[in-house]
Amino acid sequence: MQALASFIAGLVLGIGLLVSGMANPAKVLGFLDLFGRWDPSLLLVMGGAIAVASLGFLAARRRGRSVLGADMKLPAAGHIDRRLVVGSLVFGVGWGIAGFCPGPGLVALGLGEPKALVFVLAMGLGMAGFEVLEWLRRRNIETTAT
């Protein structure tokens, strides 16, 4: 049941990304071009997504388990630190250069978009690099603690 629900959620997300234009890098770059030929249409997409997600998070906070019976794993409110700021900047720069963020990049890859292949490969390398750096950081902390 979990796999079916995940498949349906992914399918709905992918269709939504296609219909909204988020999988089209030219449309995304037009949205990010504030001082050129700005295309504000994605503002409505993002506003709608934030509204729907906010309602979902409000409902989820009141539950101990998901509809399918899994434990709720909501993000804990935290502080803004250097890692969050640097990660956000890297994400934003990548989005601005490529016109893709992870979800739309995967949807565009499924459509056979060549730029998406380059993006998804770079994203995978970045994720792997992060894991290596985290492993080294944890190892360094453990070595220092002993």
pLDDT value, residue 75? 75
**What is the residue range of 127's domain?**
2-145
Identity at 47, one-letter amino acid code: G
C-alpha 20/C-alpha 45 separation (Å) is 7
CB contact set of 89 (below 8 Å; sequence gap of 6+): none
| Cα 146 to chain centroid, rounded | 37
* Domains held by the chain: number: 1
What pTM value is reported for the model?
Answer: 0.76
- Which 3 state secondary structure label does DSSP give 54? helix
pLDDT tens per residue across span 9-49: 999 999 999 998 888 998 889 988 889 889 998 898 889 99
pLDDT beyond 80 at 100: yes
